[in-house]
Chain A
Amino acid sequence: MTGGSSPAEPAIRTRGLTKRFGQQAAVDGIDLSVPSGAVFGFLGPNGSGKTTTIRVLLGLAAATSGETSVLGQPMPRALADVLPRVGALVEGPAFYPFLSGTANLQRLDAADRRASPASRHQRVAAALERVGLGHAATKRVRAYSLGMKQRLGIAGALLSPRDLLVLDEPTNGLDPQGTREVRELVRSLAADGATVFVSSHLLAEVEQMCTHVGVMSAGRLVAQGTLDELRGGGEAHVRVRTPDVGTARSALAGLGLVLVQATGAAPSDRAADDAGEGSRDGVVEAVLDGAAPPPERIVEALVAAGTRVRGFAVERATLEDRFMALTGEGFDVVG
């Protein structure tokens, strides 16, 4: 293949990719970079431009401006060369309801001119087996449940060996077993060296299977990087539950930690101190940066200062916290 993708070259790269519908920019100048071999989670609230981006990447829609390359080749110029190496599930599965699962996949396979007709039966059967639909292969798709259609859609994306898989909401409508199977599937595909680009708004799912993450908000790519980088953007916190809020605060401050205002219904310092023994617990939170002592030293210092520690936790920011902070949805208690 001409100028095939070297490992160093990203599987997907866009520069200033913009797609307008009339006046409105659905995708607004995004610079996406999906490393080869990554499992890339493409996050964003509904309507943030995820699916539009995917449509442009796959050549279904033309970009208004900007450059795109997929598997190291310029798009949409090299569409015919690139697409056979790409498996896709775009905005839900779609099939002919009056045909069986097998017949649907055969048609999809026949649409790809490079797929050899001789081994079509074999490929279709293998793809159906891989998503656990072997038993329902001859049933008409009309009779399939949502989860079965979703599986069939994934089977369609796996018909031929692919270098890149673009999966838009792959676990939509799947039961917990199905969701887990999809995760396993994505892992095994990545282990075979394929790049997987998964769009989702299920953060837990992304956290479990992705190595890299990009976050869309209102048509812009507001963050991208490895999962750790992105989570690291929000620091770890220590959280102390104690009735002696005042002493805890000064003990933590004494260790050089930066205090965060107490969350929830924690009483003010004075109120907690005045109440003395047996009073309600308060929560003291502080940022745990790189210079901070290890957690066990913090507990020691707290106890030494006479704090009755009733709860102690080190919490890393979850992807969800980061996501909410980046996309500006929901409420920000700390701020």
Chain B
Amino acid sequence: MRSELRVLFGRPRTWAMLLALAAIPILIAVAVRLSSEPPGPGEGPPFLDRVTQNGLFVGMTALVVSIPLFLPLTVGVVAGDTIAGEASLGTLRYLLVAPAGRVRLLVVKYVAAAVFCLAATLTVVVVGALVGLALFGAGPATLLSGDTVGVGESAVRALLVAVYVTVSLLGLSAVGLFVSTLTEVPVGAMAATVVLSVVAQVLGQLDQLAWLHPWLFSRHWLGFADLLRQPVSWDSFGDNALLQAGYVAVFGALAYGRFVTKDVLS
């Protein structure tokens, strides 16, 4: 496991992706700072109007901006690379002969992808918070329920949101893991995973497919607003976790079924 994380975080690509994610909150904060008039309520992405009150909200805004594409993109790259990447390097056969054990390899790969999800969301939130604090300073923040909380409390809320988004991405990671067992071409698996995440979101927009919506892994992606109320409403967190767990179970099983019987010929 440690060795897996070392490989993941030892490659320049992972750091490039995290840097790109870190750039999002920085861009937002600088843009807001440089514009002459502060954004009015309800303008721009959610939470943008709160940024000037409390720098911590930069991270939140950046997260909302990243969820539809940037986060799924980076997660798709990591999850799609899990098995297919090893296969294309040829290292898969050596890991299996070592022997790593096919199930163990699959589990380790998935856990590493999950760790990346957490690292990615934390990067956005933490960098956003730091830049926000530097440019706008900290202040009491008004929650969606109208209550005002102190700086410490709002930092906790920001971390909660990061956890929420991480959990949201676990289903997609499982889908990526499965796709990755189907091919030896990592780019194909990455693209397929990212496309699936976009498709899920598009389907989620179509009212005609309302019956399908509860089953889409992207269903609760933007549903973390409940964590910003007083008191915290855990309903959406629970629904989301359940849905993602379902995806992990189904696609984990598919990946298992595919991978344990697969002929490794690369």
Contact = CB atoms under 8 A, between A and B. Distances in A.
Contacts of A95: 89, 91
Contacts of B263: 55, 60-62
Contact of A113 (B91, B104, B264): B104
Contact of A59 (B94, B95, B96): B96
Interface in B81-127: 89-91, 93-101, 104-105
Interface residues of A, number: 32
Given A103-B10, A106-B3, A110-B2, A60 B90 contact: no
Given A61-B263, A79-B99, A108 B90 contact: no
B257 to A, nearest CB: 14
A106 B2 CA distance: 11
Nearest to B85: A96
A80 B96 CA distance: 10
Interface in A9-25: none
A26 B241 CA distance: 47
Interface residues of B, number: 25
Nearest to B98: A111
B12 A113 contact: no
A154 interface: no
B6 A103 contact: yes
A62 B95 CA distance: 17
Contacts of A99: 7, 10
A83 B10 contact: no
A113 B94 contact: no
Given A94-B93, A96-B91, A112-B99, A107 B264 contact: no
Contacts of B12: 98
Nearest to A61: B263
Nearest to B2: A110
A96 B3 contact: no
Interface string B253-264: 000000001011
A90 interface: yes
B129 to A, nearest CB: 31
Contacts, number: 82
A151 B104 CA distance: 28
Given A94-B89, A98-B12, A107-B3, A62 B96 contact: no
Contact of A111 (B3, B89, B261): B3
B10 A60 contact: no
B94 A108 contact: yes
Which of A60, A108, A109, A113 has most B Cβ within 10 Å? A60
Contact of A96 (B2, B89, B101, B104): B89
13 contacts: A55-B264, A58-B93, A58-B96, A61-B264, A61-B265, A62-B261, A83-B97, A91-B93, A94-B90, A96-B11, A111-B105, A112-B98, A113-B100
Nearest to B99: A83
A282 interface: no
A96 B98 contact: no
Interface string A101-131: 0010011111111000000000000000000
Contacts of B2: 110
Contacts of A98: 10-12
Which of B2, B11, B98, B261 has most A Cβ within 10 Å? B98
Given A83-B98, A86-B97, A111-B95, A55 B265 contact: yes
Contacts of A84: 99
Nearest to A97: B89
A113 B89 contact: no
A37 interface: no
| Interface pairs A-B: 7 shortest CB-CB | A94-B90, A111-B98, A83-B99, A61-B263, A111-B100, A110-B3, A60-B264
